[in-house]
Structure 1
Amino acid sequence: MALILADRYPQGYNHKQIGTPPVYTVNRTEVFDTWLAELADLRARAKILVRIRRAERGHFGDVKLLEDGVSEMRIDCGPGYRVYFAREGRTLYLLLCGDNKSTQPADIKHAKTMWSAIREGLS
């Protein structure tokens, strides 16, 4: 399971031109990137990306802490999308997404397994 580091601002940027500087570094899993790239609902994809950008700046919005350090970011669009993530210090790990209640228990279990594997790799 590979992690991809999110783009960073160039050295010496002017945050007044770009906006508020990020508080968190965002790492995305390949599972997350694949799911997002294949999402047909463009409006939902845009809302998810906006929420991630806000979370990067410390504004998480509608979030629920689950178990074992995994949280879900709830996006009110379409069937009710979820972004499962975990935090370690100033780093966010975007684990995977889910798009309806019928798959939610399996999605949470998968996210917890992924987070456990990532934590083992960090230590």
Structure 2
Amino acid sequence: MEHEEGEWHEIRVLDTRVQQGQALALTADVRDLLLRSAPTVAISDTEAKAALANVESATALLRKIRERISEGSDRLSDALFRMYELQDAGDLEGARQQMRDVLAVEVVPEYREIAEGELAKLAKLP
């Protein structure tokens, strides 16, 4: 995950530059970063390679990767907060439902693993 987190940081930095008006330069390093990062957010190798055909589609791929990282992180964080509140209040079914709701929509494997792990912990509780 540390390696992934480093790549995700690079994606955030690159996307921020592009949002600020800097054109995406499709260098070998940028292509490699996008190809390595795509599967970490459930984008197929085929889709990622096709997106590298031109700057416009590569920029769209960069945006999609960034959105999946950011939106998934926000969704998971919010659900975890609600889950802990419900768990503390004694509503274990409501707490479990928070993780099921995340799993119903989340595609990023790392975020899915976290939600599945929390759901497994909650399953062991009465």
TM-score normalised per structure 2? 0.27
The higher radius of gyration belongs to: 2
Report which of the two has the higher share of strand.
Answer: 1
Judging by fraction of residues, say which structure has more helix. 2
Q: TM-score, normalised by structure 1?
A: 0.28
